[in-house]
Structure 1
Amino acid sequence: MHTVWKGSISFGLVNIPVKLHTATENKDIKLRQLHKECHTPINTVKVCEGCKKEVKSEDIVKAYEYSKNKFVVLDDEELEKLKKENEDKAVEIIDFVKLEEIDPIYFDRSYYMAPDSGGGKAYSLLRKALSESGKIGVARIIIRSKEQLAVVRVYKETLVMETIHFPDEVRSVVEVPNIPSEEAVVKKELDTALLLIDQLTTIFEPGKYNDEYRTELMELINEKKAANNIVTARDKQNITPNNVTDLMSALQASLDKTKLKKPSRKKTSKVKTS
């Protein structure tokens, strides 16, 4: 399992060297965009809207737009300095809380935590302490130069770190449009809804749920492959001559058009001379 971060996490005087491994993965089927005519993959080109020119990576700078079309430019050295200063900070569990006190809307990404060299004993201590107390730890951590708020909890004998959103990153429910105000609910309708919930209530078993769209899409792709219903991108070497041919045809047509006009101008000139 690939290590995405190495460092240490501490609570009180206990310091635990750890490694983080991504706990989840996105299994969406990625579809490429092709040119309908020749089935060549389409590439994204960065174009400056002001100059109408393609821009290379080395000609791009980062900036913060503080108002419409007004920017504060930040160079790489300034950003790198902030990154290094933040990475030097210790990762520390600052509070212990109950898991049910945190609404799921705050949760972002999950990482498995594994003890690094010499960290096994302290790792086991924290795992046991969290299990016995029924609490989770709230910590701050820097991942890819971004400061994250996180919680540390036990999941199947493994410490898991969940990055969570800061409070100002969660939008207020007041901004949600068309929420109905409190209305009187007919008791018969409520009893029926509660009965339905009761009938559908079960123990959560993750294995019985699957992505039906992804499964059906993969089946469709495999059927098309089996039926040899496939296309092949045209070789780039075959595209260039066609473009050159088109260009030469256009140039030749322009020359021919020019030659047709020249005799008439010479004839007019001779008449004037005589």
Structure 2
Amino acid sequence: MPRSIWKGAISFGLVTIPVKLFSATEEKDISFRQVHPEDGGRIKYKRVCEKCGKEIPFAEIAKGYELPDGRMVILEKEDFDNLPLSTTKAVEVVQFVAEDEVDPTYFDKTYFLEAEGPGAKPYVLLRDALIKSGRAAVVKVALRSRESLALVRPKDGVLLMHTMLWPDELRDGSFAAPPENVTVSDAEVTMAQSFIDALAGDFHPEEFTDAYREALEAVVQSKADGIPLVEATEEAPKEAEVVDLVAALRASVEAAKKRREEAEKAKAM
């Protein structure tokens, strides 16, 4: 069982729910070391003070905030522990909203909330009330030296908490919009919808794998074993510009239907 990263309580009106917080995700990327290629030795870095030139042990390093006038304010652990903030040990419910009202762009990280001790009954109360109302709770919580908005919602019998970015942390993406004078015909939209319909289905994330990570693991293993890796055949590059969108989409629909039929046959075997 993973270790909890935070303990506190959800304030649900006059009801208090003691909870523990657990990370709901983990990175699966391959981790590399920085090494000297001649002998494989690891590269080490020293933490050196730019003023006195001394190497500073990690335990003696403090956090400093540089003011606009150049002064450095040193903050100790006690300063963070004693912040004048009500959300340091409490998840404060501020609003209830429909889940689809929150743009997924706001989501940062996902956590499991586990009831602690006498919190089981009020935990179930909040979970079931959210399910029946079809809503999620917008909360404020302080985690990892910052306060965040978060969304608490029920899933598979558990309450999940998604921390969110603040509005001023989202960039304006209007620069990426195509020029307004670019238009498409009804026939092109209809054919695009046909392609969407051909690939439509229920989302089953377990059916997808990280092909890049698998290929990288294969390269690492082949080098470790001293066995040459069979090179993958490269597909011929496609034309960057499509003149006839309807013809291209029609061909895409046929290809999608063929892939789906082959996939269904493979499942039936």
**What TM-score range do you get, normalising by the shorter chain?**
0.7 to 0.9
1:186-229, Cα deviation, whole Å (9 max, x unpaired): 22222221211111111100101111111121122223333389
Cα distance between partner residues in 2 of 1:27 and 1:52:
40
- 5 Å-filtered alignment, 1:228-243, equals none
Asked if the contact 2:64–2:73 (Cα under 8 Å) also holds between the matched residues in 1, the reply is: yes
1:23-48, Cα deviation, whole Å (9 max, x unpaired): 00001100111112221111233456
Q: Which 4+ runs in 1 deviate beyond 6 A?
A: none
Task: Give the structure 2 partner of residue 81 of structure 1.
Answer: 79
Q: Please state how far the C-alpha of 1:64 moved relative to its aligned partner.
A: 3.9
Q: Structure 2 unaligned runs (5+)? A: 229-269
- 5 Å-filtered alignment, 1:66-215, equals 71-77=70-76, 80-85=78-83, 86=85, 90-174=90-174, 176=175, 179-182=177-180, 183-215=182-214
**Between Structure 1 and Structure 2, which shows a larger proportion of helix residues?**
1
The one-letter amino acid of 1:179's match is A
Task: Give the structure 2 partner of residue 237 of structure 1.
Answer: none
Percent of residue pairs identical: 39
Cα distance between partner residues in 1 of 2:123 and 2:216:
43
Task: Give the structure 2 partner of residue 32 of structure 1.
Answer: 33
Task: Give the structure 2 partner of residue 263 of structure 1.
Answer: none
Instruction: Tell me which moved more, 184-193 or 210-219.
Output: 184-193
For the structure 1 residues 213 and 88, does the alpha-carbon distance in structure 2 shift closer, same or farther, using more than 3 Å as the test? closer
Q: Please state how far the C-alpha of 1:54 moved relative to its aligned partner.
A: 6.1
Cα distance between partner residues in 2 of 1:59 and 1:127:
44
Q: Within the alignment, does 1:226 sit opposite 2:225 as a pair? A: yes
Higher-Rg member (1/2): 1
Cα distance between partner residues in 1 of 2:59 and 2:12:
43
Cα distance between partner residues in 1 of 2:53 and 2:80:
32
Q: Please state how far the C-alpha of 1:65 moved relative to its aligned partner.
A: 5.0
Q: Structure 1 unaligned runs (5+)? A: 230-274
TM-score, scaled to structure 2: 0.74
SS of equivalent residue, structure 1 residue 95: strand
The one-letter amino acid of 2:136's match is I
For the structure 1 residues 119 and 62, does the alpha-carbon distance in structure 2 shift closer, same or farther, using more than 3 Å as the test? closer
